[in-house]
Amino acid sequence: MRTLFTLLLLATHMTVFSQNNFSGKVIDEQSKQPIENATLYFFELNQTVTTNKEGKFNIVLNNKSFIIKAEIYKLGYKTKVEFLNSEKSNILSISKNVTELQEVVVTGNLNESKERIPFSIESKTKEDLFKSGKISLAENLASLPGISFLSNGIANTKPVIRGLTNTNIVFLNNGIKAENFQFAGNHPFISDEFSAQNIEVIKGPFSLIYGSDAVAGVINVIPENPVASRTIVANLNSQYHTNTNGYVSNLDIRTSGKKWFGGIHTTQKTHKDYEDGNGKQIENSRFKELNLGANVGYRSTFGNFIFSYDYALPEYGLTNQKSLQVINDNNRYPKFWYQKLDNHLFTLKNKIFIKNNVLNIDFGYQKNTRQGIGDNTNNTPGMLFSEMELSTFSYNAKYTIDASKNKLIAGFNGANINNDANDFYKNSNPMPDAQINDLGVFAVNEFRFNDKINLYAGVRYDYRDMKSSPFTGTGITKFTVNNQFGSFSGSIGSTYKLQNHLFKLNLASGFRSPNISELSQNGIHQNRFERGDLSLKAQRNYQIDFNYHFHINNLIFDFSPFYNSIDNYIYIVQTSANAPIGGGKIWQYLQNDANIYGTEFSIDYHPLAWIGIHSNYTWTKGELKKGGYLTLIPQNRLMAELKLEKEKLGFLNRPSFTATFTNFQSQNNLGQLETYTPSYSLLNLRVGSEMSIQKQKVNWYVTANNVFDEVYIDHLSALKPLQLNNMGRNIVFGLNIPITKSF
């Protein structure tokens, strides 16, 4: 810690403090006319400016030769990333955009256009998340090619990337790796997705910057950018869900002065038990969730600094054999058999300018308390049957040298993780007291040979030390962990652009160590007896990704096959041995080599500027090399969408209509104890527009999901063994009120 703060102070003294004002202009690429109210977000400066009536903007730099990168955005135009140089004239042109055919711009840790990155990446905006009418983040992301989700009800969900989930995914919240019990399907990642600007999903083992465990990929929750100086921006969002009598409300307020900026946000959700397509109530699928957050930042010529606090308190009902025996009411809030997750996240993000380069030093502290609440039949005080407190201190440092032809990122990150199990409930806690220390170092280089060829290459080394303190419950001793894991990861990939054709190829290798549960578990977990294995080795995977992208004015085609070979793949099976307590059989963690492979393709076609036809197909297969199929491999899926959107229709601005048809194909490649899942199809409809009421903009939408009340059970539903169906028809009424004031 002392070393990091010393480095921060030295970097501050090394900075050149001279200021330099420079201006630029944004114009229409075709007409050459200036564009008013175009937004430019400067990644390095963490600052937003807008253009005036003449299309001009002005920004303050700390160095006369400073080269920075900006994202240029204007509704109706293609978003673009451009290099700006304070020593040159900055005339920036953007072209008009056919509805929804704009290039996705990466705004996370890489700050790069999608077409220059050799691996597969998808994203969802806050507007997408709201208007979909989906209840959970994982379900929202599952509309993207290659993404599915595990479900234990409607809120307790987990994302699946190309057939892998749980510890195989790195989940980043505001740049900090989440450590809130990602080792099991009913332990969801915790984040307020409605406070984010957008959510990025990186598919494949790109763990060089993000750390080990990114065997499947990375989900990056990116917070909102600061608003323009001397501006206050507020957004009020609300929803009503007919199926669950559910309410969602979200308020986001951001402001910015010349140097100081900040904001606050809150989201509340409450849903009753959902009903399936037969009108049957699925007991105890109810939940409530509270999210609060605030941030304050300061920017100057030598850097910028942001302190953020996020708090989440979700309470998710648990639908299982025991809860179905004791719950038969229609209450809104969970009372018996639910998990209460109390999560605090503090982050301090520091960005220091050192001549033309950038030093990032970030700190994070997470405190997560998980409580399992049962019913009076347990004869335990307050019905509490398990409690664990997980505390994590994280630190990240990276130094970026970004030139016009080359970008080098080098750094290190790590974490100190401590799990404290409540002594009284240790018999039923899935994890013992444990301490984990992580440290990784990395270097990634981007070679920009020319406008056609781009090359990414990098290497990383990670070390993990894991220890646990054993205890005895009902005569069964948890295993003592004293394991160390260390390994290299690597990635090399290239993009080649030939007129309207783009080719991407990426080779990567990543690893993850077993988690504490997989090593030490020896007791009841998820209503079954689970046993770990102290001899488990780290997973190692080798993946090849290819992408072909074709793009003309009104058509986009993408084809993305992948092949993932995993050595020592960790999974759990039911054995024939009787469990020593709780009844049933012993579930044992073991490992074998496996292959997961598949492909995704998508087509976006716009016969007219206001008509969009979108389609994508996802095909995934998972096999053990010794024979047999992997469990929890999602159904293959075909999605087709028709979207109509006009600039104006009468008194309505941006009216739109969307119809989405999704066919989930049958799954007969079954892992142990899995049963055949028949195919099913869902139709979703959405209509909405923007209106002006006494000069105040109001956005409204109505979304109907599962229009025909289809009765189905998804292959990845944890309620499938109970023969409980997924949700039936749900009509969502939504409202968004944006307010912008200058001062």
Q: Which of 97, 127, 154 is the last residue of a domain?
A: 97
Of 588, 573, 531, 589, the closest CA to residue 672 belongs to 573
Q: What is the tens place of the pLDDT at every residue in 474-530?
A: 557 778 899 999 999 999 999 999 999 999 999 999 889 998 889 988 887 777 888
Of 48, 39, 23, 67, the closest CA to residue 353 belongs to 67
Query: What is the average pLDDT across 554-575?
Result: 94
The answer to whether position 259 is within a domain reads yes
The answer to whether position 117 is within a domain reads no
452: region left, alpha or beta (phi > 0 left; psi from -120 to 50 alpha): alpha
Are residues 211 and 281 located together in one domain of the fold?
A: yes
Quote the mean pLDDT of the chain. 87
Are residues 86 and 155 located together in one domain of the fold?
A: no
**Is the model's pLDDT at 30 over the cut of 50?**
yes
Are residues 597 and 706 located together in one domain of the fold?
A: yes
pLDDT reported for residue 109: 63
For residues 30 and 160, the model is more confident at: 160
Of 714, 634, 707, the closest CA to residue 669 belongs to 634
Are residues 144 and 90 located together in one domain of the fold?
A: no
Q: Name the DSSP letter for residue 481.
A: P
Contact 46, 360 (CB under 8 A): no
**Is the model's pLDDT at 393 over the cut of 70?**
yes
The answer to whether position 442 is within a domain reads yes
Q: Which of 97, 126, 159 is the last residue of a domain?
A: 97
For residues 387 and 611, the model is more confident at: 611
Are residues 90 and 178 located together in one domain of the fold?
A: no
Give 560's strand partners. Answer: 600
Contact 412, 461 (CB under 8 A): no
Query: Distance of CA 414 to CAs 212, 385, 398, 460, Å?
Result: 10, 32, 12, 13
Are residues 672 and 558 located together in one domain of the fold?
A: yes
Q: State the Cα–Cα distance between residues 640 and 661, nearest whole angstrom.
A: 5
Q: For 149-153, 552-556, 695-699, which range has the lowest pLDDT when averaged over its residues?
A: 552-556
Q: Is the pTM of this model over 0.85?
A: yes
For residues 222 and 715, the model is more confident at: 715
Are residues 84 and 145 located together in one domain of the fold?
A: no
The answer to whether position 336 is within a domain reads yes
Q: Which CATH number characterizes residue 187's domain?
A: 2.40.170.20
**What percent of the chain stands above pLDDT 70?**
89
Contact 141, 159 (CB under 8 A): yes
**Is the model's pLDDT at 684 over the cut of 70?**
yes
pLDDT band for position 426 (50/70/90)?
Answer: low
Are residues 476 and 600 located together in one domain of the fold?
A: yes
Q: Is 13 helix (H, G, I), strand (E, B) or coil?
A: helix
Contact 618, 640 (CB under 8 A): no
pLDDT reported for residue 116: 80
**Is the model's pLDDT at 415 over the cut of 90?**
yes
Q: What's the structural domain count of the chain?
A: 2
Are residues 152 and 43 located together in one domain of the fold?
A: no
**Is the model's pLDDT at 169 over the cut of 80?**
yes
**Is the model's pLDDT at 100 over the cut of 60?**
no
Q: What is the tens place of the pLDDT at every residue in 365-387?
A: 999 988 888 876 654 545 767 78
Query: What is the average pLDDT across 252-274?
Result: 95
For 424, list phi and psi in degrees, rounded to 5.
-65, -30
Q: Which CATH number characterizes residue 7's domain?
A: 2.60.40.1120
Are residues 335 and 464 located together in one domain of the fold?
A: yes
Are residues 88 and 212 located together in one domain of the fold?
A: no
Q: State the Cα–Cα distance between residues 557 and 548, nearest whole angstrom.
A: 8
Q: Counting beta carbons within 10 angstroms of the beta carbon of residue 531, is it exposed (0 to 12), middle (13 to 18) or buried (19 or more)?
A: buried
pLDDT reported for residue 9: 44
pLDDT band for position 12 (50/70/90)?
Answer: very low
The answer to whether position 354 is within a domain reads yes
The residue to which tokens 């290099």 are assigned: 83
Residue type at position 243: N
Contact 448, 478 (CB under 8 A): no
Angle at 310 between CA 308 and CA 314, to 5 degrees: 175
pLDDT reported for residue 18: 44
Residue type at position 67: I
For residues 51 and 594, the model is more confident at: 594
pLDDT band for position 65 (50/70/90)?
Answer: very low
The answer to whether position 109 is within a domain reads no
Q: Which domain holds residue 56?
A: 2-97
pLDDT band for position 388 (50/70/90)?
Answer: confident
Query: What is the average pLDDT across 40-53?
Result: 85
Are residues 34 and 157 located together in one domain of the fold?
A: no
Q: Which of 64, 97, 130 is the last residue of a domain?
A: 97
The answer to whether position 131 is within a domain reads no
Contact 320, 718 (CB under 8 A): no
**Is the model's pLDDT at 429 over the cut of 70?**
no
For residues 657 and 449, the model is more confident at: 657
- List the alpha helices (DSSP H) in 502-651: 516-520
pLDDT reported for residue 8: 42
Count the residues in the chain.
743
Hey, which of 1-5, 475-479, 575-579, 650-654 has the most confident mean pLDDT? Answer: 575-579
The answer to whether position 209 is within a domain reads yes
Q: State the Cα–Cα distance between residues 503 and 77, nearest whole angstrom.
A: 25
Q: What is the tens place of the pLDDT at every residue in 319-340?
A: 988 888 888 888 899 988 898 9
* Greatest distance between any 2 Cα atoms in the chain: 80
Of 144, 161, 127, 24, the closest CA to residue 82 belongs to 24
